[in-house]
Amino acid sequence: MHLYHLSLQQPTSIVCAVQGCFAGISKQQEICVARGSVLQLLVCDSRSGKTTVRCSQDCFGVIRSLLAFKLTGGTKDYIVVGSDSGRFIVLEYNPAKNSFDRVHQETYGKTGCRRIVPGEYLAADPKGRAVLIGAVERQKLVYIMNRDAQANLTISSPLEAHRSYSICYAVIGLDVGFENPTFACLEVEYEEADQDPSGETAKNVQQCLTFYELDLGLNHVVRKYSEPLQERGNHLIPVPGGADGPSGVIVCCENVIVYKNLGEQPDIRVLIPRRQNDLEHENRPLMVIASASHKTKSIYFFLIQIENGDLFKVTLDTEGDIVTDMHLKYFDTVSPANSMCILKTGFLFVAAEFGNHQLYQIARLGADDAEGDFSSRSSKHGLYNCRDLYNLILVDTVDSLDPLTQTIIADLAGEDAPQIYALCGRGGRSTLRVLRNGLEVSEMAISELPDTYHSYIVVSFANATLVLAIQESIEEVPDSGFLGTAPTIGCGLIGDDSLLQVYPGGLRHIKSDRRINEWKAPSRRHIVNCAINRRQVIIALSGGEIVYFELDMTNQLREFSERRELPADVLCMSVSDIPEGELRSRFLTVGLSDRTVRVISLDPADCLSPLSMQAVQADPSCILIIETPDETGATSMMHMNIGLANGCLMRTTIDQVTGELADTRLRYLGTRPVTMFKIIVQGRDAVIATSSRSWVLYHYQNRFHLTPLSYMALDSAASFVSPQCSEGIVAVARSTLRILALDKLGAVFNQTSHKLKFTPRSFVPLFHSDHLIVIETDHAAFTEKAKKDRRHALMEGTENVEGAHELRALYQTLNNDESKFGAPRNHNGTWASSIRLIHANRGNTLCHFELPDGEAAFCVEVVHFRSQPEALFVLVGCASNLQLVPHHKPHGGCVYTFLVHKNGQSFEFIHGTPVDEPVYAIHAFKGVVLVGVGRKLRLYDMGKRRLLKKCENKVGFHFLF
| DSSP code per residue over 329-346 | EEEEE---EEEEEE-TTS
Instruction: Please compute the mean of the pLDDT values over residues 38-44 and round it to a whole number.
Output: 93
pLDDT value of residue 735: 75
366 confidence band (pLDDT: 50, 70, 90): confident
Among residues 396, 421, 454, the one where a domain terminates is 396
Q: What stretch of H or E contains 620? A: strand 620-629
252 domain-assigned: no
Q: What is the Cα–Cα distance from 536 to 549, expressed in whole angstroms?
A: 6
pLDDT value of residue 454: 63
Residue 585 neighbours by CB under 8 Å, 6+ apart: 533, 536, 575, 576, 577, 578, 579, 602
Query: 123 and 212, same structural domain?
Result: yes
Is the pLDDT at 8 greater than 90? The verdict is no
Question: How many CA atoms, within 13 angstroms, populate the side-chain half-sphere of residue 359?
Answer: 22
Q: What percent of the chain has pLDDT over 90?
A: 50
Strand-pair category, 274-275 with 383-384: parallel
Among residues 396, 422, 453, the one where a domain terminates is 396
CB 177 within 8 A of CB 242: yes
Is the pLDDT at 476 greater than 60? The verdict is yes
Q: What is the Cα–Cα distance from 623 to 153, expressed in whole angstroms?
A: 50
Q: What is the Cα–Cα distance from 946 to 812, expressed in whole angstroms?
A: 38
Query: 586 and 702, same structural domain?
Result: yes
pLDDT value of residue 449: 32
* Helix-, strand-, coil-residue percentages of the chain, each rounded to 5: 5, 50, 45
Q: What is the Cα–Cα distance from 958 to 961, expressed in whole angstroms?
A: 10
pLDDT value of residue 768: 83
Query: 419 and 351, same structural domain?
Result: no
Query: 656 and 773, same structural domain?
Result: no
Dihedral pair phi/psi, residue 161, rounded to 5°: -130, 45
Q: Is 791 helix (H, G, I), strand (E, B) or coil?
A: helix
Q: What is the Cα–Cα distance from 440 to 727, expressed in whole angstroms?
A: 14
* Distance set, CA 804 to CA 150, 380, 810 (Å): 73, 21, 10
List pLDDT tens digits, range 854-909. 899 999 999 999 988 889 999 999 999 888 877 777 788 999 999 998 888 899 99
Q: What is the Cα–Cα distance from 412 to 403, expressed in whole angstroms?
A: 23
521 domain-assigned: yes
928 domain-assigned: yes
Dihedral pair phi/psi, residue 798, rounded to 5°: -105, 10
Query: 593 and 572, same structural domain?
Result: yes
CB 184 within 8 A of CB 211: yes
Residue 830 neighbours by CB under 8 Å, 6+ apart: 779, 780, 781, 782, 786, 853, 854
Is the pLDDT at 632 greater than 70? The verdict is no
Residue 799 neighbours by CB under 8 Å, 6+ apart: none
Query: 670 and 522, same structural domain?
Result: yes
Is the pLDDT at 59 greater than 80? The verdict is yes
Q: What stretch of H or E contains 796? A: helix 784-796
Q: What percent of the chain has pLDDT over 70?
A: 94
469 domain-assigned: no
185 domain-assigned: no
Among residues 368, 396, 424, the one where a domain terminates is 396
CATH number for position 690: 2.130.10.10
Q: What is the Cα–Cα distance from 55 to 101, expressed in whole angstroms?
A: 12
Least confident of 309-313, 691-695, 737-741, 944-948: 737-741
Q: 82: phi > 0 → left, psi -120 to 50 → alpha, else beta; which?
A: beta
Instruction: Please compute the mean of the pLDDT values over residues 580-604 and round it to a whole number.
Output: 89
Q: In what order do the strands lie in the sheet with 207-215?
A: 166-173, 182-189, 207-215, 220-228
Residue 348 neighbours by CB under 8 Å, 6+ apart: 292, 303, 340, 341, 342, 359, 360, 361, 362, 392
1 confidence band (pLDDT: 50, 70, 90): very low
Secondary structure letter of residue 802 according to DSSP: T
280 domain-assigned: yes
Listed as own residue / partner, the contacts of 555-562 with beta carbons closer than 8 Å and 24 or more positions apart are 555/495, 555/496, 555/498, 555/511, 556/509, 556/517, 557/494, 557/500, 557/507, 557/509, 557/517, 557/519, 559/519, 560/607, 560/608, 562/607, 562/608
Q: Where are the beta strands (DSSP E) in 197-283?
A: 207-215, 220-228, 233-238, 249-253, 256-260, 268-271, 274-275
Calculate the average pLDDT of the chain: 87
Least confident of 117-131, 194-208, 323-337, 626-640: 626-640
pLDDT value of residue 471: 63
List pLDDT tens digits, range 63-100. 999 999 999 888 899 999 999 999 999 999 999 888 99
Angle of the 804-813 helix axis to the 784-796 helix axis, nearest 10: 180
Query: 629 and 766, same structural domain?
Result: no
| DSSP code per residue over 446-476 | -----TTS--EEEEE-SS-EEEEEESSSEEE
Is the pLDDT at 781 greater than 80? The verdict is yes
Picking from 739, 677, 726, the residue whose alpha carbon sits closest to that of residue 453 is: 726
pLDDT value of residue 682: 82
pLDDT value of residue 93: 94
Q: How many CB atoms lie within 10 A of CB 1?
A: 4
Instruction: Please compute the mean of the pLDDT values over residues 329-343 and round it to a whole number.
Output: 94
List pLDDT tens digits, range 818-842. 888 888 888 888 999 999 999 998 9
The segment with the largest mean pLDDT, out of 137-146, 196-205, 509-518, 737-746, is: 137-146
Query: 211 and 82, same structural domain?
Result: yes
Least confident of 289-293, 545-549, 802-806, 831-835: 802-806
Query: 588 and 546, same structural domain?
Result: yes
The 3 state secondary structure assigned to 681-738 is ECCEEEEEEECCCEEEEEEECCEEEEEEECCCCCCEEEEECCCCCCCEEEEEECCEEE
298 confidence band (pLDDT: 50, 70, 90): confident
pLDDT value of residue 875: 96
pLDDT value of residue 954: 84
CB 17 within 8 A of CB 351: yes
Query: 293 and 160, same structural domain?
Result: no
Q: What is the Cα–Cα distance from 898 to 848, expressed in whole angstroms?
A: 12
Query: 777 and 791, same structural domain?
Result: no
Dihedral pair phi/psi, residue 365, rounded to 5°: -100, 10
Instruction: Please compute the mean of the pLDDT values over residues 694-711 and round it to a whole number.
Output: 86
Picking from 849, 839, 921, 845, the residue whose alpha carbon sits closest to that of residue 878 is: 921
Least confident of 312-326, 452-466, 591-605, 798-812: 798-812
DSSP count for the chain of H helices, then E strands: 5, 76
The domain of 809 spans: 786-814
115 domain-assigned: yes
pLDDT value of residue 731: 86
Q: How many CB atoms lie within 10 A of CB 229?
A: 17
Least confident of 215-219, 332-336, 431-435, 440-444: 440-444
198 domain-assigned: no
* Distance set, CA 357 to CA 13, 99, 346, 425, 431 (Å): 8, 23, 17, 12, 14
Query: 808 and 755, same structural domain?
Result: no
Instruction: Please compute the mean of the pLDDT values over residues 439-462 and round it to a whole number.
Output: 61
Domain count, the chain: 5
